[in-house]
Structure 1
């Protein structure tokens, strides 16, 4: 007799040996599973933990086989991962139709799983995640995280589930215009850039015919190009240094903003500085490729003044991971906004000076006032610099010259801070 919902719900794990009547009479001992037949080869297997699984026993090409139909659920409680009694019977009927047509249902199930996995890998989101995984090793972790955030928030909800080969330029344009519509034009351009890289990766892996983002040239207004604000006038920069000296914020932030103009690293790299990278005896900080924008190791030679700042903060944070930890947890690095917030407290608004502006100061003053060799400055800024043969210099290139430049720069800043007349140092480095 076919099973009823009441029989199924009342089927419990065994507490004592029982005799179960199915297609054959069997004896089941405590701790084992047992089967309740529904007829036609389909049965419900009750497991020791109380779970109930639908199975279908059938013969194909002379061999007895089993097909898993899913986990039982009561009517009205079924989900995408469970199967009610009526659904299980329909699945059995479909399987028997396949058998009559000469198709092995268990083999067909495997084919469908493979096809589904391949389809998922060929969606825009699947290809995008593969692209991020492959090329993420060449980019800073913060850059990858920002890329993922924009894709997840602004692109995947509308394009993520679509086969990448079927996405049309108008589909991508609708996504970009939606971003532009909320006033985030720069983000729209970034999303278009990421989409283009993903489509080109799909072309290279034979999952798309071409990069459709190329059809959207001129479809978005050009963003207003704004450079990060920076003080590059020596006299005004001296005033900034005096303001930093007088800053009365937290000691960690004060030390960070004192060190910023002495080591030239990006704000994200500065706040993530770990004590494990600092060698006070060798007077260096060795930043690993994982935190660098160019994904290459970077060595910063430390001036006497920079060493004094690090030795001053070491008793406070030296037992932890970060030189500049978060004041809230101590287990994470200082907030991304901490440096800029300190500048605002000192009276410098975002149109006048930013944390990134310290790099512009050395690039401008070091070149135009002090006469430092531009390629030496660029090396110390961790920019891509190539030799006359077009090869990228390694992290130790021109290290003696860079160490000399860093000390001369720190001495120059000391004089700027007290307002002394400074004699240009043209030709002293390089």
Structure 2
């Protein structure tokens, strides 16, 4: 017979613990001290187990039956309530004190700093983290919900920082996956938000695609009246096809004048692979001139009045002083210029051009097998391109490019 409230109130302690059954595995255990404790008894995997449900009267008869029904459903589904409760306690213990900020910092240390990633890359991870720490930094990683993360990302979107919001979500997802791996949380709530953010506006870096205008730029670079190191950076960048950061952060030990090669280590390249650049005679001449101003220093292009290198903004400001606006020239745009001019000549293998630009092969399978560097062709190509830039500078020759496209 099921228990009643009056029966429970009448139960008195004895010298030894004893039980009074309710129904469906629920019973009350009365201790010699007079405590009345609810338990749910069940069998799973051929073994009998019991689960504590609380003490009477704090846990009423109705409460105890409700809990019993919930655990009975778990047993019917093949779930062991005792094991689930133990895992929940363990998860709470593991999560306690492990906040988003702590785990994110540990993630950056393990996955970026310990693996020797570039300083700029590490700094960028902390930048993404900074957008989440004001609201989520002190929250245990396992307690964070998707809606909380989305609220932080919406603030970035509201400021128009769509790309930053996208990258910050991806960073958070990496932190959560790291947290799952080390037992700090059980899932990745950021994963669910991947399709909920506004798409970033695609911005193509402006580049000079008109040969005559390129000649004007080169002439302006030669008459630039600013700092000598900056002038040489402006003059050299079109000849080497490097990303601006790869040029600005250059170290003298990377230059081999005897072999006419600039060897950029993997840690400073976007693809995290060493990249060798054949140096034309024009590039070597400019580097020899640069050596007069910064030879023996850590950075080839050291900023004025500081130990660090010039910034990308330094190059941009130089372009503006030369009369070239942001809608026409960017430091990164000279890679587009070189790619366009070289491809349209039809003189060089497209793969050699891609290798010169240190691009990753868009076809992953092809990239595995196509490991040639096209070195000999690249040496000829870099010299040809520098010679071509010189001819543009003097106004001696202009290639017959597509007129409609070059008006853009």
Q: If the length of structure 1 is used for normalisation, what is the TM-score?
A: 0.66
User: For residues 179 and 423 of structure 1, what CA distance do their matches in structure 2 show?
Assistant: 45
| Residues 72-107 of structure 1: per-residue CA shift (max 9 Å, x gap) | xxxxxxxxxxxxxxxxxxxxxxxxxxxxxxxxxxxx
Q: 1:192 aligns with which of 161, 169, 184?
A: 169
- Cα pair 1:266 1:359 within 8 Å, conserved: yes
- Cα pair 2:95 2:184 within 8 Å, conserved: no
Shift of 1:203: 3.2
**What's the secondary structure of 1:230's corresponding residue?**
coil
Q: Counterpart of 1:366?
A: 342
- Consecutive unaligned residues of structure 2, counting only runs of 5 or more, are 1-90, 401-408
- Cα separation, partners in 2 of 1:332 and 1:120, compared to 1, 3 Å: farther
- Cα separation, partners in 2 of 1:231 and 1:284, compared to 1, 3 Å: same
Q: Counterpart of 1:73?
A: none
Matched, 1:335 2:311: yes
Q: Which moved more, 1:117-126 or 1:303-312?
A: 117-126
Q: Counterpart of 2:368?
A: 391
Q: Counterpart of 2:236?
A: 259
- Cα separation, partners in 2 of 1:165 and 1:192, compared to 1, 3 Å: same
Q: Counterpart of 1:41?
A: none
Shift of 1:206: 4.1
Matched, 1:233 2:238: no
**What's the secondary structure of 2:176's corresponding residue?**
helix
Matched, 1:302 2:276: no
- Cα separation, partners in 2 of 1:188 and 1:411, compared to 1, 3 Å: same
Q: 1:379 aligns with which of 348, 352, 355?
A: 355
- Cα pair 1:271 1:333 within 8 Å, conserved: yes
- Cα pair 2:352 2:373 within 8 Å, conserved: no
What does residue range 162-177 of structure 1 map to in structure 2 within 5 Å? 162-177=139-154
- Cα pair 1:285 1:300 within 8 Å, conserved: yes
Shift of 1:347: 1.4
Shift of 1:289: 1.5
Q: Counterpart of 1:158?
A: 135
Q: 1:318 aligns with which of 269, 290, 295?
A: 295
**What's the secondary structure of 1:391's corresponding residue?**
helix
User: For residues 229 and 370 of structure 2, what CA distance do their matches in structure 1 show?
Assistant: 34
- Cα pair 1:139 1:293 within 8 Å, conserved: no
**What's the secondary structure of 1:337's corresponding residue?**
helix
Q: 1:250 aligns with which of 223, 227, 243?
A: 227
Shift of 1:248: 1.4
- Cα pair 1:326 1:334 within 8 Å, conserved: yes
- Consecutive unaligned residues of structure 1, counting only runs of 5 or more, are 1-114, 425-430
User: For residues 135 and 173 of structure 1, what CA distance do their matches in structure 2 show?
Assistant: 25
| Residues 178-206 of structure 1: per-residue CA shift (max 9 Å, x gap) | 22233323222221121122223333444
Q: 1:146 aligns with which of 117, 124, 127?
A: 124
Please identify which structure carries the higher helix content. 2
- Cα separation, partners in 2 of 1:255 and 1:117, compared to 1, 3 Å: farther
- Cα separation, partners in 2 of 1:383 and 1:130, compared to 1, 3 Å: farther
Matched, 1:411 2:387: yes
Shift of 1:120: 7.1
**What's the secondary structure of 2:199's corresponding residue?**
coil
Q: Counterpart of 2:330?
A: 354
User: For residues 180 and 349 of structure 2, what CA distance do their matches in structure 1 show?
Assistant: 43
User: For residues 162 and 211 of structure 2, what CA distance do their matches in structure 1 show?
Assistant: 35
Q: Which moved more, 1:352-361 or 1:381-390?
A: 381-390
- Cα pair 1:120 1:126 within 8 Å, conserved: no
Q: How many residues align?
A: 308
- Cα separation, partners in 2 of 1:116 and 1:204, compared to 1, 3 Å: closer
What does residue range 5-84 of structure 1 map to in structure 2 within 5 Å? none
| Residues 143-199 of structure 1: per-residue CA shift (max 9 Å, x gap) | 2212212312x1122212222222111010111112223332322222112112222
- Cα separation, partners in 2 of 1:150 and 1:248, compared to 1, 3 Å: same
